[in-house]
A and B are shown apart, each in its own frame.
Chain A
Amino acid sequence: MAYAESPIGISLKPQHYSEILHDRPQIGWFELHPENYMSEGGESHRVLSAIADRYPLSFHSVGLSLGRAEGPDLTHLERLDRLCSDYDPCRVSDHLAWTSSGGTFFNDLLPFPYTQASLETFCNAVDLVQTRLGRRILVENPSQYAALDESEMAESDFLNALTRRSGCGLLLDLNNIYVCSQNLGFDPTTYLDAIDLSQVGEVHLAGHTCSEWMGRKILIDDHGSEVCSEVWSLFADLLNRIGPVSTLIEWDTDVPSLERLLQEAEKAQSYVRVCVAGGELRALAS
């Protein structure tokens, strides 16, 4: 792999295909939603084959619906397995959420209450997926817009139990932690204190939007803007705690130029450089 030495990756977007193939930007890896490559053929496969020859890929699925009562989507798991065989991604992840149930795909990451019963369901789902794919997967902490009254335990406790019992890793989305902290009212650094950081296999940095619902300010993780200063601070905090880790600049809506994405990636890289040099990162965050 040509640029595997850099831990920073960016989202792979169709509008950047030709520029990436032509310019071969210096970036550690590309993230993609495998669902967008589950066609039988076409341009996206031709491009992905060429990109996979030059860069590592991280498959970030939204389709397994690991948190649903009826168990994960097995049809989708088979398709994901085939795509993994075709492109050999370096990491495979999905979300602490459910996206389909009762035969309908809801095209969003839906929350569920954190209980002993849902933990059991989720562990079984992860176990099934890891067995079928023959690899460890990562599970991402979600954005929450309101607390669910039915939850019996904190999200960090749920995730710690999940990684311990199923052997999966964590995909830590720092923007989601920040969004949750603002929507639910807690200090985001306490989340880093509570979660088992030794299980983190990938980190996501993204932008969010501030919206108003019924007179209440709510942050929505639309991945449609640059990373905010508070999330950069969390990134610095995390690097101080665990050192460099594969990190994604995630940008899915209002996708900017490749140049702009690479600038954000370079900013993340500069944090990593300071971290590797043993520097104190908090100063950079402002």
Chain B
Amino acid sequence: MPSLAEYQATWRDALLTQDRDDSEFAAVSPALAIHKNNFLFATREALASVFGTVSALVGEEFFAAMAKAFIIAEPPTSPVILDYGSGFPGFIANFPPAGTLPYLSDIAVFEWDLHQVALAADAQALEPSFFSAQAVETLLSLELALIPGARIFQSKFAVVDIWRAHKSVPVDLTSLGPIDVASRALMVRNDGLLSVISLTKGEKFFLDALNNGEDLGTATAIALDGDPAYDILESNRKLAATRCFQLRE
């Protein structure tokens, strides 16, 4: 009789095998076949709850096949299934059947980032009034960081528009413009509310610079350098209002 460790090693191998004929499998061990089905189904559902737009774009059947291939290739490592799926965008990028949708992987990155923002540690963001109360020279030397519940997203495709179109009920894709237009966005969660705010090129340069440890003055210079159309006052007002900043520790 196999030891418990041997028994579980056999089950592990069977649960993680991709290419077995399911009906043959069920005849050998119905219990194992049912549990494998449970494993794949529950884990696929977890992925679908995070990657809803990806699923909508490819259809349920395609998503199920792609999710199964991913689950077998990179199965969950922790019982906290909320944390599962970080590798899915990369997997999609290298999944040949999805090759006709070059933007699909970026949609997955976007949805994963949004999921992370929703679950990130709570933090008190600086209020817009904090900035308006500072003298200009103090402002310029401020060292800011994004709160944990804020992320910057960028893609060479119109990912944010595609995602927004899939949020409408019923889904309305008629207003979508060309797909190969770059998108930049800030995701931020405050008071339980998740917002996605489109960014100009300059704003993206500005937030990246802050994230890289530059002070506010230097970040502004970098934004102007990268985007001559950067409107300092307008962007400062807009970004302060998103309440995405905290003082860097």
Interface residues of A, Cβ cutoff 8 Å to B: 35-36, 38-43, 45-46, 61-65, 68-70, 73, 75-76, 79, 98-108, 110-113, 115, 117-118, 121, 144-146, 148, 150, 213-214, 216, 218, 220
Contacts and interface: CB of A to CB of B under 8 A. Distances in A.
B43 A107 contact: yes
A62 B189 CA distance: 29
A111 B11 CA distance: 10
B119 A146 contact: no
Given A148-B31, A218-B30, A220-B38, 14 more contacts: A35-B80, A35-B81, A65-B79, A69-B3, A70-B5, A105-B81, A107-B46, A112-B8, A115-B4, A150-B7, A213-B33, A214-B26, A214-B27, A220-B34
Interface residues of B, number: 44
B85 interface: no
A146 to B, nearest CB: 4
A67 to B, nearest CB: 8
Contacts of A61: 79
B31 A73 contact: no
B120 interface: yes
Decide if the interface of chain B is mainly helix, strand, loop or mixed: helix
B78 interface: yes
Interface in B64-119: 75-82, 118-119
Given A68-B8, A107-B42, A214-B23, A42 B120 contact: yes
A216 B149 CA distance: 50
Interface in B149-188: 149
Contact of A73 (B3, B29, B79, B122): B79
Q: Please name the 9 residue pairs, one residue from A and one from B, whose CB atoms are nearest each other, closest first.
A: A63-B79, A39-B119, A69-B5, A41-B122, A40-B121, A146-B31, A108-B38, A105-B76, A69-B4
Nearest to A99: B79
B80 A108 contact: no
B75 A104 contact: yes
B46 A111 contact: no
Contacts of B33: 213
Contacts of B78: 63, 75-76, 105
Interface of B: 1-5, 7-9, 11-12, 15-16, 23, 26-27, 29-31, 33-35, 38-39, 42-43, 46, 75-82, 118-123, 148-149, 189, 192
Contact of B31 (A40, A65, A106, A145): A145
A142 to B, nearest CB: 11
9 contacts: A38-B80, A46-B122, A69-B8, A70-B5, A107-B76, A108-B38, A113-B7, A121-B4, A150-B1
A118 B30 CA distance: 22
Contacts of B76: 104-107
Contact of A112 (B7, B29, B30, B121): B7
B30 A41 contact: no
Contact of B30 (A68, A79, A98, A213): A213
Contact of A105 (B35, B77, B189): B77
Contacts of B5: 69-70
A35 B46 CA distance: 13
A105 B75 CA distance: 7
Contacts of A150: 1-2, 7
A211 B165 CA distance: 38
Given A106-B15, A106-B39, A108-B42, A98 B8 contact: yes
Nearest to A149: B1
Contact of B120 (A40, A102, A108, A214): A40
A263 B122 CA distance: 36
Nearest to B16: A104
Nearest to A106: B39
A93 B115 CA distance: 28
Contacts of B23: 214
B77 to A, nearest CB: 6
Contact of B39 (A107, A115, A145): A107
Most chain B CB atoms below 10 A, which of A39, A61, A62, A146 = A39
A208 B82 CA distance: 25
A280 B106 CA distance: 63
Contact of B192 (A46, A100, A103, A216): A46
Given A38-B80, A38-B82, A150-B2, A108 B12 contact: no
Contacts of B121: 40-41
B12 A101 contact: yes
A1 B48 CA distance: 37
A150 B11 CA distance: 14
Contact of A218 (B2, B34, B77, B149): B34
Contact of A43 (B35, B75, B192): B192
Given A108-B35, A150-B7, A42 B77 contact: no
A42 B149 CA distance: 9
